[in-house]
Amino acid sequence: MTKWLKVLCTAGLAAGTVMVSCMGAMAESTTEAGEEKTYKVGAIFQDLSNEWIVIEKDAFLEEAEKHPNIEFIVLDGQGDPANQIKQMETLVSQKCDLIICNPYDQFQLTPSIQGAIEGGIPVIALGTNCDEDVGQIHISSSNQVAGEMQMQQVVDDLGGKGNIAVLRGPNGNFSRNGRDEGWEKVLENYPDIHIVFDQAADWSRVLGMDTMENWLSTGTQIDALVGQNDEMALGAAVAIEAAGRQDEIRIYAIDGIPDALNAVKEGRMVSTLFQDAKKVGKEVVLLAEKMLNGEEVEKIYDVPFEMVTIDNVDEYFDR
Amino acid sequence: MSIVANVRKRLGSYGIYIALIVIFIFLSCFSESFLSVNNILNLIRQASFNGMLALGATFVIMTGGIDLSVGSTLALTGVIAASFSIQSGAIQLPLGLAVLVGIIVGVIAGLANGLMVTYGKIPPFIATLVTQMVLRGAALVFSNGQPITGYTSAYKWMGQGAVGRIPIPMILFLILIVVCALVLHYTKYGRHVYAVGGNPQAAKASGLRVSSITISTYVISGILAALAGIALSSRVNAASPIAGEGYEADAVAAAVMGGTSLAGGTGSIGGTVAGVFIIAMISNGLDMLNVSSYYQKIVKGIIIFIAVMLDRKKD
């Protein structure tokens, strides 16, 4: 490389760094010049490349703007608990008055959350909880209840007997484990419901579709496909329709993303469970404010899933 | 003794095909529906996407390089091409133009990789890691982190359509296999790619434009990733900015299983295609046998290991 090229690169790098930091400052803090801030709140989201988390964050920021006395610092954990641990440390050293943590993993963040609380900073665990009670406040939609609601509906629709195929989230994932528990609780009462196929398709549409195609090839009778999220079930739906077996196999999912609402409306999917990302994002700001004002709050705050079927799907499109 | 050595040597260069046939026979025996026409079509279609990436990887690895950016390129082209093909979109392009836009994105990604590797003298592993990150970020920014849905019927056809019973992605993949095999094995350009990978100094001394040839392999990889991205986003009915994460690993694995040396200079399209089908058959077969996903990863790892061992030159 010539000397000039190096100089140019260095200059470019410097300019780029300055630009990105300015953008970062704009995006990551709700502070505006001249405003009086009473409180500083840090929020770590698990992964801002996840559609659902992005919806939650946007609702969070929208509500945050209505509280000019609180400065919010928003960080992206990028799907890596190790990042989140570092970010927890940063927020503690920035002397936040409260930290909202949306852990990617229920185990790895526990020590950091405990550390913050012991240092006098209250912590709200958003979505995923940590694995033990270290004094955190937990706000989420219960996955166990969702699993139960979903599987009970499947069992009822099938009249208590039949073959089901299930697509689960990634092995070891918090939401998946909760939904698994909910399923178990229902299924132990119905010995005539047989799980004929069972696979982890990692929340992915492509994997849901590939896996379903492979199952369909076996020719085994399947009465229902139960997916632990919409993406996998929607992928499976495409495979089922391509095989012309949509009249044989009923499809159930969880999350209530727009694409799934459309599928329910068109009758391609029996139901999905709507997890109100916007409500959770908004409620967590209100909860934080209450705590900062010294009000008493419950240890666990549930924003329940709602069952969406063809009868009520229209209500959900605008939410 | 020399006969034995000879047999082993011969087995060495055909090891990957033998592994392919053994796995095929095994699955045919253990899963009765494995051999159905339907499943074979599924299998080939499922293999098509990794297949396109692996074809590109073959060219790049042949020159002694590596392309870790294909998964991100796939996602970025998917969201860009799809955004021009949605019913509610501000700008709707005909299918051909949308595909062309996607290919241009792939070319740009490939050029960026190639220029960094040749003129920037950045090791391929790092250069393509840079583009992997930047392009993934670009896909997220472009789509605002949300999947793009609601395609026009033309765009749906790319991934979901079929001619007779033959799915479009499969046709695309088969055409690309033939084109890549012809280019690599029967043209002067192909021989130059081998020469650059085998010994870049000698290639340069004999008057080959080493930089241009190296850059061109990254561009080929970019274009193939773009085509895979468009077809995949169409197939699953949603273009996701997080699609294709980790796909580079399967693509590289297929090429290397198929005998492409990471040091450059050796490899073949046939071997890569065999590698692609081994990887695809493992998932397909294990799903049909309902093997738990915990064990699937172990089995996949072991089969790749055995296939590579079978394929090692024994001299």
Which backbone phi and psi does A279 adopt, to 5 degrees?
-65, -40
Burial class for B107, CB neighbours closer than 10 Å (0-12, 13-18, 19+): middle
Mean pLDDT, chain A, whole residue set = 88
CB distance A193 to A162 below 8 Å: yes
The minimal CB distance from B38 to the residues A49, A197, A217 is found for A217
Q: What is the pLDDT of residues A189-216, one digit of tens each?
A: 999 999 999 999 988 999 999 999 999 9
Name beta bridge partners: A194: A163
C-alpha closest to that of A109 among A138, A130, A133 = A130
Q: Look up the pTM and report it.
A: 0.79
Amino acid, single-letter form, for residue A93? S
CA distance B272 to B54: 7
Instruction: Name residues whose C-beta falls within 8 Å of residue B283's C-beta, 6 or more positions apart in sequence.
Output: A210, A214, B46, B296, B300
Provide the 10 A C-beta neighbour count for residue A21: 11
Tell me, yes or no, if B186 comes closer than 8 A to chain A by beta carbon: no
DSSP code of residue A50: S
Residue A80: pLDDT band with limits 50, 70, 90: confident
Closest to A270 (Cα-Cα) out of A313, A317, A303, A206 = A313
Distance CA A88, CA A46 (A): 12
Q: What pLDDT does B3 receive?
A: 60
Three-class secondary structure of residue B269 per DSSP? helix
> Do the chains contact at B146 and A51, CB–CB below 8 Å?
yes
pLDDT digits (tens, 9 = 90+) for B165-198: 899 999 999 999 999 999 999 999 999 999 999 9
Map tokens 């029967």 to a residue: B186
**Largest separation between any pair of C-alpha atoms in chain A:** 77
| pLDDT score for A25 | 46
A49, A238, A242 ranked by CB distance to B241: nearest: A49
- Residue B5 is predicted with a pLDDT of 58
3-state class (DSSP) for residue A140: strand
Q: Is B36 on the interface with A (CB under 8 A)?
A: yes
pLDDT band at A174 (very low <50, low <70, confident <90, very high): confident
Give me the residue label for tokens 């790049």: B60
Contact A124, A291 (CB under 8 A): yes
Chain B, nearest residue to A241 by Cα: B160
State the smallest CA–CA distance between residue A81 and chain B in angstroms.
Answer: 18
- Distance, in Å, from the CA atom of A4 to the CA atom of A94, rounded to the nearest integer, reads 40
What totals of helices (H) and strands (E) does chain B contain, helices first?
Answer: 13, 2
Q: Which residues of A touch B38 (CB under 8 A)?
A: 216-217, 243
Distance CA B71, CA A204 (A): 15
Task: Quote the ipTM score.
Answer: 0.73
* B234 near A CB under 8 A: no
Asked whether the beta carbons of residue B235 and residue A234 sit closer than 8 angstroms, the reply is no
Answer yes or no: is pLDDT of A26 > 50. no
pLDDT (tens digit, 9 = 90+) per residue, B212-268? 999 999 999 999 999 999 999 998 888 989 899 889 999 999 999 998 988 888 999
Cβ contact (<8 Å) for A199 and B236?
no
pLDDT in tens, B111-120: 999 999 999 9
| Cβ contact A217–B39 (<8 Å) | yes
Alpha-carbon distance of B26 to B38, in angstroms, equals 18
Beta-strand relationship, A70-76 and A98-101 = unpaired
Give the pLDDT score at B283. 86
> Residue B11 above 60 pLDDT?
no
Q: Is B88 on the interface with A (CB under 8 A)?
A: no
Q: Is the predicted pLDDT of residue B7 greater than 60, yes or no?
A: no
Inter-chain CB proximity A215 and B288 less than 8 Å? yes
Confidence check: pLDDT of B273 > 90: yes
pLDDT of A33 above 90: no
Taking 70 as the threshold, does the pLDDT of residue B314 lie above it? no
When mean pLDDT is compared across A27-31, A109-113, B162-166, B242-246, the lowest value belongs to A27-31
> B119 phi and psi, to 5 degrees?
-75, -30
Confidence of residue B315 (pLDDT cuts 50, 70, 90): very low
Q: Report the DSSP pairing between strands A306-308 and A123-126.
A: unpaired
Between β-strands A306-308 and A272-274, what pairing exists: parallel, antiparallel or unpaired? antiparallel
Of the CA atoms within 13 Å of residue B292, those in its CB half-sphere come to 3
Closest-CA residue in chain A for B118? A1
Distance (Å) of CA A266 to CA A208, A271, A311, A313: 20, 11, 12, 10
Is there a contact between A183 and A167 (Cβ–Cβ < 8 Å)?
A: no
